[in-house]
Each structure stands twice: as structure tokens, then as C-alpha cells.
Amino acid sequence: MDRTIFDEEHEMFRDSVRSFMINEVQPNIERWNDQGIVDREAYLKAGEQGLLLMWADEKYGGAGVSDFRYEQIVMEELTMHGDAGFFLWLHSRLVGPYIDTFGTEEQKQRWLPKCVTGEHILAIAMTEPGTGSDLAAIRTRAEDKGDHYLLNGSKTYISNGILADLVIVAARTDPDSKRGISLFVVERGMEGFERGRNMKKMGLKSQDTAEMFFNNVKVPKENLLGDPHRGFYHLMHGLLEERLLAAAGFVANCEAAFQITLEYINDRKAFGQPIAAFQNTRFKMADMRTEIDIAQSFVDQCVIQHNDGTLSADDAAKAKLFSSELECRVTDECLQLHGGAGYMDEYRISRMYANARISRIYAGTSEIMREIIARSIGLDPRKK
């Protein structure tokens, strides 16, 4: 199905992003996967290309681009032609906006320019051992000591955990309130801030995921982000966009899996004919083509609504739920159509299948998405 939401300027931008992914990212994918981390230089090159924090005001070095479609294009081309473990979107569109939205002018001047260039890489630390998605259960604490906060605790499963120079850390500042949480920007090199191992994962091998430990870290008052004790609500601010951007990537991964499988089944023969000639294959591909087009149409509509400021939290949850579940089904079906070859890492579909499994977990699990959607239609157990 033809997509109608993009203009000529968008397509020109897509060509430049695709070229960047093919020339600067593709040659490094195998090495990044083997070493378990993306080169820092990749962020610098993305910054030179103008792909980081595109929304940032020109006075901070950004392009001041507010049209979310450009972010969607970067996500799609990264997924189709780059490396899914290169978390540009986390840096640019998940973490960066917290500084822009809740930061003071001094903080923006201090941090945003180097985030735009890729000199400073961003991460956000919410998840703790045993808490999962339950932000109200955060135990990392920050005590007000007058001219600074004293930060103690630990975080886990932190994306960009090894590379990050600036980490937004959620910590409890009001022990008497479940939502008494504040956000702090912890900088590389602060005494008492330590990183654990680069964690081994099922997929996204090139994406550095780490533990973090805070042992009496003195965080200056100037590094408090936003209103004190309202960090819980600040964290809710970016969830809608995170889920929409994730959905755009999930659908793009479906499309990539479909295309490489279409090529494979036309070339691979069994019993004297191409695999594509079997009715089972044709019906499987027909089903996937239909579902991918439906998902793409819904995500595109959500992008338009987001640009207009009308996208609802439940529609973002629907996009995230459906696209992540679809991605898992599509990569599974496509691997099956590859037969034994699909189980071999030398075939891209094998890595895509492993990468897809996290999609139903991060940015809110499928179960949480279903809860949000159920409550939006009046099925709220709290009101019984």
C-alpha cells in the first residue's frame, strides 16, 4: 500500500538517512555485535549528519524540526538498513526531551549542545532489581544535604549504560509518598557512580545494557531536573511518544523481515520448484502482507495525530501492542519459511527474530498496554 503521509522533503531526507545507514552503519554491524557495543564514533557521525536531537532549538545546535515524521523516517531507515542495537532514538527522542521540557535554561545550555553533536550520549535509569515497570516501588534514594543531594541505590537493564555520559536517574526524595520521586542528571566521572557489567542478552547484541551503582554520589542541586518530588509525573510525560516511536520501528522490522523472506523464497527451491510456489508459502506471505499494511496505516495515522497534538495514550498503547505482537509473529513466520537456514546467525532473519522478543517488553509490556486500553473503554477495576 502506498503511504501518503510524506512530502517530497521527507523523501529527500529519507534518501540521505538511508545513505548514512548503508555507508556508516552497515559495515560495522558484525563487529558491533561481536564487541557488544556500538562505537562512540557512530554517535559523532550521526551528529555531523544532523540526526541527533533534530527538535532542539538552533541556539543549542539543533535544527528546530518539530515534525515527528522525520523521527519516524530515522527509525524506519535505522531498522531497515542499519542496526537495531544503535539506539539513536533513545538518545534523541526519549531522553533528550526530558532535558528540554523540564530543564532550566542553564541546564539546556550546559548539556544540549554536546548531545546534538554526539559528544555526550544519553541514558535514563528507572528500572531496579525487583521493580520492573512499577515506578512507585523505586528504592534508590536521594537525600537533600543542603547544597547537594546524596544519591544511593542501583539500577539495572539500562540501555546505553556503558556509553552514556549523562544519565537521568529516578530516585526517591520523599520516603512517605509512593510517588515522591525526583529526577537527577548524573554525569560520567562523578565520584561513587559506577557501572556494572555489559549484560549479555538474547538479542540486540550491539546495544550496551548495563547495571549502575550509586554509592554516596554527591549530585549538585544544579543537576536536579524539573520540579522536586514530581519526577514520577515527569516520567509519564514521554511514554506516549516512546511507544509511538517504538511502534514505527516494530512495523519497519516487519517490513524488513518480509522483504528478505520474499527474496529468499523466490530463490530457494524444494522438490524441484521455488518455495514461493507452494500454497502454504503464498498464503503465509499474503497474511503477513495484509497485517503489515494494516499496522503501517494505523501507525502513520497515529504519527499525524501526534503532530497535531491529538494522539491519545490509549491509541499509542494500541499501536505499541499490535505492532510488537505482529513483529514477533512475522519474524517467527519468516524464520520458518527460511527453514534450517533461518536458525543460522549468518542469515539476518535469525538475528531479527531474537531482537524482536524484547519488543513486547520494553516501553511497557503487552500486558500493561492491554490494561491501558481496557481502562480506556471503561473496564477499570479501580472503579468497581
| Residue 171, all three cell numbers | 530516585
Helix axes 239-267, 279-308, angle to 10 degrees: 150
The candidate with the shortest Cα–Cα distance to 50, out of 70, 32, 67, is 70
Helix axes 366-376, 313-338, angle to 10 degrees: 140
| Contact present, 85 and 32 (Cβ < 8 Å) | yes
- Answer yes or no: 242 catalytic: yes
Sign of the torsion formed by the C-alpha atoms of 185, 191, 193 and 197: positive
| Residue 36, all three cell numbers | 557488544
| Contact present, 50 and 44 (Cβ < 8 Å) | no
Please tell me the distance from the alpha carbon of residue 290 to that of residue 118, in angstroms, as a whole number.
39
Q: How many residues does the chain have?
A: 384
The active-site residue out of 71, 211, 242, 255 is 242
Positions marked active-site:
242
